[in-house]
C-alpha cells in the first residue's frame, strides 16, 4: 500500500456510531491499517476527517459532540483505548463497546460536575476546556480543549456513561482551583451536599489537601457549606427520631453539673436514660487537632459521669437511617442495666 493508494473503508467498517468509535488515536488507526500520512491527508481542508488533539482523530467533519470531546480528551491523556480491529465485526456481534479504560486519567473539574448532574455547573457543550486529572509524574501538556490537572494520586473514579469520572469532592476541588467567582463557588459547594452527592467534611478535606482554604472567597463558601451540611444532618436526625418512634429528647442543649462548669453542648439528650447524642460535623481544617481534642474531652467528661454518648456522622444518617435509629434505641433500652448517672442540669441553647 502506497500513500497514493485509495483508502479502503473495510478496516473501519465494523466500528459503530458510538463516540468512542468515531474518535481514534494514531496508534489505533495504524492497527486498522491506516498510516499517519494517510490520516493526515484525510484531515486536510475538504477531507472527511479532522485532528481534534495531537494524535487523536475524529472520523468525520463538523463540530465534535460533547461525548466526542470527552473521549478525545481521555484518549489524548492515554486513559482509554480505541476499539481493537483484531476480530472485525466482533464488537457488534458481542454487543460490547471498546475495552475498559486503563485508569491513567479521569475527567475532573466542571466537566466531571456536569456529568454528575450538577445544575450549577455549565453544560458540557458550554465548556471551552475539559479538565483531565493525571498523575503528577505524567509528561503531558494542556492543549486544545484539554486542561491537564496533576495530582499525587488518582482517586477511585466513578463510571458515568462509560467514562472514568472523579468523585464529587475531588472534582469540586479541581473546579474551585480554577474559579474566582465567589457566587459560583458557593452554589457548587452547597449543591454538593444539598443534592446528596457527598458530605461537607469530604469536600473540605479535598479543599484542604489542595491548599485552597487560604482564598477568602473559598473560606466564605466553606462556612456556608458547613452550615448547610449541619442543617441537613439535623433534619435527618429529627426524621430518624420521629419516623422510628424514638422518645423525643431535649434538642440542642448544654449540659452542666449543678453549680459547676459547663460540660458542653449536645444535639439531643434523653434525661431519663442519661443518653446524649452528638452529630460529628467536624471538618478536617487547620484547627482539626484542636477540634478533636475538645470533642474527646467533652465525651470523656460525660462518660465519666455515667452518661452514654452516641456518636453519629451525617454520612451514617444519610446512608442508613434505620440502622442509626437501632443504635440509639439500644442505648436507651440498656440504660436500666447501667449504674445511675450523675445528675446534670439541662440548659437550652
Q: What is the set of domains in the chain, with CATH numbers?
A: 10-94 (no CATH), 106-231 (no CATH), 244-348 (3.40.960)
In this predicted structure, the answer to whether residue 89 has a pLDDT above a threshold of 70 is no
Q: What are phi and psi of 25, to 5 degrees?
A: -90, 170
Residue whose entry in the numeric block shows the C-alpha cell 456518636? 311
pLDDT for 283: 66
Q: How far apart are CA 164 and CA 158, in angstroms?
A: 6
For the chain, percent of residues with pLDDT exceeding 90: 70
| Arithmetic mean of pLDDT, 233-251 | 96
pLDDT for 141: 93
C-alpha cell at 254: 448544654
Q: How far apart are CA 108 and CA 177, in angstroms?
A: 12
Grade residue 349 by pLDDT with cuts at 50, 70 and 90: confident
Per-residue pLDDT reduced to its tens digit, 323-335:
999 999 999 999 8
pLDDT for 292: 63
For the chain, percent of residues with pLDDT exceeding 70: 84
Per-residue pLDDT reduced to its tens digit, 168-200:
999 999 999 999 999 999 999 999 999 999 999
Find out whether 269 and 349 touch, Cβ atoms under 8 Å: no
| Arithmetic mean of pLDDT over the chain | 86
Q: How far apart are CA 304 and CA 270, in angstroms?
A: 17
In this predicted structure, the answer to whether residue 127 has a pLDDT above a threshold of 80 is yes
pLDDT for 14: 53
Least confident of 35-39, 117-121, 181-185, 260-264: 260-264
pLDDT for 85: 44
pLDDT for 260: 81
In this predicted structure, the answer to whether residue 26 has a pLDDT above a threshold of 50 is yes
pLDDT for 148: 96
pLDDT for 294: 76
pLDDT for 287: 56
pLDDT for 153: 82
Q: Which residues have C-beta within 8 Å of that of residue 28, sequence separation ≥ 6?
A: 81, 82, 83
C-alpha cell at 35: 498510516
Amino acid at each position: 500500500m502506497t500513500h497514493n493508494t485509495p483508502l479502503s473503508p473495510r478496516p473501519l467498517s465494523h466500528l459503530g456510531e458510538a463516540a468512542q468509535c468515531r474518535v481514534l488515536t494514531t496508534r489505533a488507526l495504524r492497527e486498522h491499517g491506516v498510516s499517519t500520512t494517510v490520516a493526515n491527508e484525510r484531515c486536510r481542508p475538504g477531507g472527511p476527517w479532522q485532528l481534534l488533539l495531537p494524535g487523536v482523530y475524529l472520523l468525520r467533519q463538523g463540530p465534535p459532540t460533547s461525548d466526542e470531546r470527552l473521549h478525545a480528551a481521555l484518549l489524548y491523556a492515554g486513559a482509554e483505548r480505541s476499539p481493537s480491529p483484531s476480530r472485525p465485526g466482533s464488537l457488534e456481534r458481542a454487543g460490547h463497546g471498546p475495552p475498559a479504560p486503563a485508569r491513567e486519567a479521569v475527567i475532573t473539574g466542571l466537566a466531571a460536575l456536569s456529568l454528575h448532574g450538577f445544575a450549577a455547573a455549565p453544560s458540557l457543550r458550554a465548556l471551552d476546556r475539559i479538565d483531565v486529572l493525571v498523575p503528577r509524574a505524567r509528561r503531558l501538556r494542556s492543549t486544545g480543549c484539554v486542561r491537564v490537572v496533576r495530582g499525587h494520586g488518582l482517586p477511585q473514579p466513578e463510571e458515568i456513561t462509560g467514562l472514568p469520572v472523579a468523585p464529587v469532592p475531588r472534582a469540586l476541588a479541581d473546579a474551585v482551583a480554577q474559579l474566582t467567582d465567589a457566587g459560583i463557588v458557593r452554589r457548587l459547594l452547597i449543591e454538593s451536599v444539598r443534592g446528596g452527592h457527598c458530605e461537607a467534611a469530604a469536600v473540605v478535606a479535598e479543599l484542604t489537601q489542595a491548599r485552597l482554604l487560604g482564598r477568602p472567597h473559598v473560606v466564605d463558601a466553606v462556612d456556608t457549606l458547613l452550615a448547610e451540611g449541619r442543617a441537613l444532618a439535623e433534619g435527618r436526625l429529627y426524621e430518624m427520631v420521629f419516623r422510628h418512634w424514638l422518645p423525643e429528647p431535649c434538642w440542642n442543649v448544654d449540659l452542666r453539673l449543678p453549680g459547676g462548669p459547663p460540660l458542653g453542648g449536645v444535639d439531643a439528650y434523653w434525661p431519663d436514660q442519661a443518653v446524649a447524642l452528638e452529630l460529628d460535623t467536624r471538618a478536617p481544617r487547620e484547627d482539626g487537632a484542636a477540634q478533636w481534642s475538645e470533642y474527646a474531652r467533652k465525651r470523656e467528661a460525660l462518660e465519666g459521669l455515667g452518661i452514654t454518648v452516641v456518636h453519629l456522622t451525617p454520612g451514617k444518617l444519610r446512608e442508613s437511617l434505620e440502622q442509626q435509629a437501632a443504635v440509639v434505641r439500644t442505648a436507651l433500652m440498656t440504660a436500666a442495666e447501667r449504674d445511675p448517672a450523675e445528675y446534670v442540669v439541662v440548659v437550652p441553647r
